[in-house]
Amino acid sequence: MIEKDLLVIGAGPAGSTAAKFAAKKGLDTLVIEKRQEIGTPIRCAEGVGKNVEEFVEIENDFISKDVEGAKIFSPNQELFEMAERAAGDEVGYILERKKFDQYLVEKAIEEGAEVKLRTRAKDIERDGDSIITKAIRNGKKIKIKSKIVIAADGVESRIGRLTGIIDSLSLKDIESCAQYLVTGIEDIDLDYTHFYLGKEIAPGGYAWIFPKGPESANVGLGVQPTRASKKPKEYLDEFMTQLGLEDGKIIEEMFGGVPVAEPLETAIDDNIMLVGDAARQADPITGGGIINGIKAGKIAAEAAKRSKENENYSKDTLKYYEEKRKQEIALKNKRNYQLKELFQSLGDEKYNSIVSSLKGTDFEKISVASLVSELIEENPEIAEEIKEII
């Protein structure tokens, strides 16, 4: 049996960050990853805000594009622009996601963490003040005994379900996504990310263009399954035609689901913490989860260190993680979930009105309070809902 202080399940950004900081703090740390290669398959548009620099030393090797801001198009194609600093956690850098994930794992290894690929967690059982994780590695059964498990095993987290921390996601809390990596793009400003609203384009979601380099970009969309009448790929093919990109060369396709759920009431159990998509930490409006996952991983590592120091691995000791993740992630996500529910209830005419009311706003200087005031003044019919949410 393998014995460790900490087992991290999943080597995405949340898990790798948790492993890096835990190992740095002196915990004997093992990361297991079910896939044979870190960073594959890619299941996101690869955008991240420049606040990632608070957690990661930026290297050109994993940056595809440094963007200037975001262009947002209403259903009637009216446009307003936001500078990068005002545009949120998904606008700033476009990553080479595979290289980025591999970089994070390398940093965890440098701090002393051990990593095992092709290792899938199947079950857990309690053994005194420890957890025994039963896993399959290269077709063989293994057991890993640890004081703490940090589960970074994705949106349908097996560990989260085994412990009863999470249930299956409701269809209304999933965006079904399709994306192409397209080359040969002309006549589109690839110094900006582009977002397109409208029920004909992406019902219950939005479409995007995330530039990857000269004449290439991730072009994709997410739709809310209960509002869509077609498959995401069909909407995407129509969107490509609308943009005049039907003759562009598609060199990669991606399909999958993105959680846009309300934050969990709790993300811990005795000996166990959930981070990243396993803890439903993606932004409910954008679906972006890289920054929040990294934040959660760092917080969980500190909680693990404190538990080891106290020789107490109960929920009471892990409440440091609960309190910090609620403060730094869940509070904003709860508000954004309510905004998502409100925005999904609006029709295209209201989207047109909102975008029109924001045109000309100086997003370099605007505050949240002044933005809300602007929305309320120009859109009085949704004023009460916005006030309650904010």
- Tokens 């921390």 appear where? 165
Q: What is the rounded distance in angstroms from the CA atom of residue 15 to the CA atom of residue 6?
A: 11
Q: What is the rounded distance in angstroms from the CA atom of residue 170 to the CA atom of residue 370?
A: 34
- Tokens 């080891």 appear where? 308
Please give the pLDDT value at position 365: 47
Query: Who has greater pLDDT, 125 or 55?
Result: 125
As a whole number, mean pLDDT of residues 212-233 equals 94
As a whole number, mean pLDDT of residues 189-193 equals 91
Q: What angle do CA 193, 196, 199 make, to 5 degrees?
A: 160
- Both tokens of residue 356? 């029109």
Please give the pLDDT value at position 347: 86
Lowest model confidence (mean pLDDT) among 171-175, 291-295, 308-312, 326-330: 171-175
- Tokens 């965006």 appear where? 175
Q: Where are the alpha helices (DSSP H) in the chain?
A: 13-24, 97-110, 158-162, 232-243, 290-310, 315-325, 331-344, 348-358, 368-378, 383-389
Lowest model confidence (mean pLDDT) among 58-67, 105-114, 296-305: 58-67
List 146's β-bridge partners, or say none.
4, 131
Share of the chain above pLDDT 70, in %: 89
Q: What is the rounded distance in angstroms from the CA atom of residue 230 to the CA atom of residue 6?
A: 44
- Both tokens of residue 358? 């924001």
- Give residue limits of the domains in the chain: 2-43+98-170+261-341, 64-92+171-259, 342-389
Superfamily grouping for domain 2-43+98-170+261-341: FAD/NAD(P)-binding domain (3.50.50.60)
Q: Is the pLDDT of residue 107 over 50?
A: yes
Lowest model confidence (mean pLDDT) among 73-77, 130-134, 380-384: 380-384
Please give the pLDDT value at position 140: 95
Please give the pLDDT value at position 368: 46
Q: pLDDT band at residue 237, thresholds of 50, 70 and 90?
A: very high
Please give the pLDDT value at position 367: 45
Please give the pLDDT value at position 85: 58
As a whole number, mean pLDDT of residues 23-28 equals 98
As a whole number, mean pLDDT of residues 188-213 equals 94
Q: Looking only at Cα atoms, what is the longest distance across the chain?
A: 64
Please give the pLDDT value at position 343: 82
As a whole number, mean pLDDT of residues 379-383 equals 64
Q: What is the rounded distance in angstroms from the CA atom of residue 322 to the CA atom of residue 170?
A: 23
Please give the pLDDT value at position 57: 87
Q: What is the rounded distance in angstroms from the CA atom of residue 124 to the CA atom of residue 130?
A: 10
Fold of 64-92+171-259: D-Amino Acid Oxidase; Chain A, domain 2 (3.30.9)
As a whole number, mean pLDDT of residues 301-311 equals 97
Q: Is the pLDDT of residue 370 over 80?
A: no
Please give the pLDDT value at position 386: 62
Q: Is the pLDDT of residue 203 over 90?
A: yes
Mapped onto helix, strand or coil, the DSSP state of residue 147 is strand
Q: Is the pLDDT of residue 167 over 80?
A: yes
As a whole number, mean pLDDT of residues 229-242 equals 96
Please give the pLDDT value at position 89: 55
Instruction: Compute CA distances 119 → 15, 150, 206, 279, whole Å.
Output: 14, 15, 35, 21
Q: What is the mean pLDDT of the chain?
A: 90
As a whole number, mean pLDDT of residues 163-190 equals 92
